[in-house]
Amino acid sequence: DAGVIQSPRHEVTEMGQEVTLRCKPISGHNSLFWYRQTMMRGLELLIYFNNNVPIDDSGMPEDRFSAKMPNASFSTLKIQPSEPRDSAVYFCASSLGPSQETQYFGPGTRLLVL
């Protein structure tokens, strides 16, 4: 079975541009998580969905960040406008349910904002 799929794998953009990251969770998984990882702050949860509904977005840094999950097999994380401090690796993860602690991570998107 395919694991969590993320695209693009790498993104280089200029400050002020819109960035859209995409994620396809494992089929049958009901919970989806977006994380950001930096050297300084480690892995931080940005937002998570259960059954396509956003449950907790308290980790979203500011209004420039938004996430959607229009159906069970697709989610996006958008940054508009992007800033250099947004440079990080963004991971999407999925699990069977909200309390299923085994989360399966995608390969991540490496974002560099110049």
Partner 1 sequence: RKEVEQDPGPFNVPEGATVAFNCTYSNSASQSFFWYRQDCRKEPKLLMSVYSSGNEDGRFTAQLNRASQYISLLIRDSKLSDSATYLCVVNPHTDKLIFGTGTRLQVFP
Q: How many CB atoms lie within 10 A of CB 23?
A: 25
- State yes or no: residue 50 binds partner 1 (CB under 8 A): yes
User: Binding residue for partner 1 (CB under 8 A) from 21, 75, 103, 113?
Assistant: 103
**Which residues, including other chains, have CB under 8 Å from residue 50's CB and lie 6 or more apart?**
30, 31, 97, 98
- State yes or no: residue 12 binds partner 1 (CB under 8 A): no
Q: Determine the Cα–Cα distance for residues 67 and 49; give it in Å rounded to an integer.
A: 10
- State yes or no: residue 5 binds partner 1 (CB under 8 A): no
Q: How far is the CB of 45 from partner 1 (least distance, A)?
A: 6
Q: Determine the Cα–Cα distance for residues 69 and 101; give it in Å rounded to an integer.
A: 21
Residue keyed to tokens 């931080």: 44
- State yes or no: residue 105 binds partner 1 (CB under 8 A): yes
Positions in the binding site for partner 1 (CB under 8 A): 31, 35, 41-43, 45, 48, 50, 55-56, 91, 98-99, 101-103, 105-108
